């Protein structure tokens, strides 16, 4: 079985998530509405929109899963009402404006799956004035966390392995957000909800979060636990919060501190977080105030320091760099040039093999390469 299909089995297994979307769709989609299912996957949200009375659903999916979604729509008797459009939503045009846009590109902390960029584009190009997006708003939630096993994952890099040192990786490990399913007992105090935004309006703008988190039990502070509450419709919310009974089956994000800090009831943690949704970059500054210490302890981390960037790639971003095509770039250019609206595929494959014999040992390897290029760029 395709692992992509299995991933979507997990989405369908999460009944809390599906019931939340179903209730929100029933509340928001009116009979006769035109609906966009953005990132449709198996098409489940579009099917629910049809059930709620949508006249037409435009189901946008960039992956080949769209073929399966087509079959599923027919199997449910909605084949004539759901129109499938393959491609990234930002590159798709719709034949008519929509009343409602649906998506679950929320990720673990609200922004990392692209919702902000995709929804702002979709609102501008797809939505009728006064139209509705589901979700409507997102709230960012933070809490102080004790999590020894995750801490050990970061400290791993300070230990030798086979007598060799690996500590250069520790900076990267300490500047990374970790997906993890937090348990309520791992929280050292109540959560705060410092920011609520409409992703379709906020778009790619930086997000700024600031709050003070009280500590209400003694323990060891290892980092921040982060999750979201999505307002799907006026009366329906959906959340991966470890503190709610109605938690959807989705992990949270753990952002570490540079070192563990012992805390007591009455201490506090002030967090300043800057999020760049398009770059999926987060900077978090923490200031821990302890009753038994005069000065706060401060740490600053950023996922920009957690990125792996080779010096070779970095050199290529310098404005003075003069790029030229590699042999593989030249082969790609050949394919694109041969796509002139006249030549059939078989001729393109043969010509690519003839012009690039060093790259392709056979017609079938050239054909695979051509297929990769044209499925992406040909009309």
Interface residues with ligand SAM (CB under 6 A)? 11, 39-42, 44-45, 60-63, 65, 88-89, 104-105, 114, 118
Beta carbon nearer to ligand SAM, 204 or 364 = 204
Q: Which helix (H) or strand (E) holds 142?
A: strand 137-145
Beta carbon nearer to ligand SAM, 36 or 213 = 36
Q: Phi first, then psi: give them for residue 197, nearest 5 degrees.
A: -140, 155
Beta carbon nearer to ligand SAM, 56 or 147 = 56
Beta carbon nearer to ligand SAM, 11 or 178 = 11
Q: Give min distance, CB of 275 to ligand SAM, in A.
A: 19
Q: Give min distance, CB of 51 to ligand SAM, in A.
A: 15
Q: Give min distance, CB of 8 to ligand SAM, in A.
A: 6
Beta carbon nearer to ligand SAM, 101 or 213 = 101
Q: Give min distance, CB of 90 to ligand SAM, in A.
A: 6
- The sign one gets for the Cα dihedral 310, 305, 173, 240 is negative
Beta carbon nearer to ligand SAM, 37 or 99 = 37
Distances from the Cα of 187 to the Cα of 143, 162, 215, 307, angstroms: 7, 36, 9, 28
Number of H helices, E strands in the chain: 12, 15
Q: Give min distance, CB of 22 to ligand SAM, in A.
A: 11
Q: Which residues contact 278 (CB under 8 A, 6 or more apart)?
A: 116, 117, 204
Q: Give min distance, CB of 79 to ligand SAM, in A.
A: 18
CB atoms within 10 A of CB 228: 26
DSSP string, 213-261: EE--S-EEEEEEEEEEEEEEETTEEEE--TT-TTB-S--EEEEEEEEEE
The CA distance from 64 to 132, in Å, is 28
């Amino acid at each position: 079985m395709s692992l992509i299909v299995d991933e979507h089995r997990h989405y369908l297994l999460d009944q809390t998530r599906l019931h939340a979307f179903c209730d929100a769709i029933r509340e928001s989609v009116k009979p006769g509405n035109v609906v966009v299912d953005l990132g449709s996957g198996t098409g489940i949200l579009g099917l629910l929109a049809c059930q709620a009375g949508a006249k037409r659903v435009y189901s946008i999916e960039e992956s080949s899963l769209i073929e399966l979604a087509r079959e599923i729509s027919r199997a449910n008797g909605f084949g004539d009402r759901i129109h499938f459009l393959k491609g990234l939503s930002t590159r798709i045009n719709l034949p008519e404006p929509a009343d409602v846009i649906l998506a679950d590109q929320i990720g673990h902390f609200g922004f990392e799956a692209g919702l902000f960029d995709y929804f702002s584009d979709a609102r501008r190009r797809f939505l009728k004035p006064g139209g509705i997006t589901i979700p409507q708003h997102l709230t960012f939630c933070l809490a102080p966390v004790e999590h020894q096993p995750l801490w050990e994952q970061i400290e791993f890099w300070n230990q030798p392995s086979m007598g060799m040192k690996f500590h250069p990786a520790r900076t990267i490990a300490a500047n990374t957000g970790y997906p993890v399913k937090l348990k309520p007992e791992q929280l050292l105090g109540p959560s705060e909800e410092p920011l609520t935004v409409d992703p379709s309006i906020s778009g790619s703008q930086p997000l700024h979060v600031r709050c003070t988190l009280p500590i209400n039990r003694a323990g060891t502070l290892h980092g921040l636990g982060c999750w979201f509450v999505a307002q799907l419709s006026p009366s329906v919310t959906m959340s991966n919060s470890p503190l709610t009974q109605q938690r959807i089956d989705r992990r949270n994000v753990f952002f570490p501190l540079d070192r563990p800090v012992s805390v007591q009831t009455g201490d506090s943690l002030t967090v300043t977080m800057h999020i760049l949704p398009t770059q999926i970059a987060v900077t978090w500054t923490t200031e821990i105030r302890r009753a038994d210490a005069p000065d706060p302890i401060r740490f600053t981390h950023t996922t920009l320091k957690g990125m792996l960037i080779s010096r070779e790639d970095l050199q290529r971003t310098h404005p003075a760099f003069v790029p030229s095509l590699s042999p593989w770039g030249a082969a790609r250019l050949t394919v694109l040039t041969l796509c002139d609206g006249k030549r059939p595929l078989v001729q393109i494959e043969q010509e690519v093999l003839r012009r690039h014999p060093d790259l392709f040992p056979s017609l079938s390897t050239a054909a695979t390469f051509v297929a990769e290029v044209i499925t992406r760029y040909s009309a």
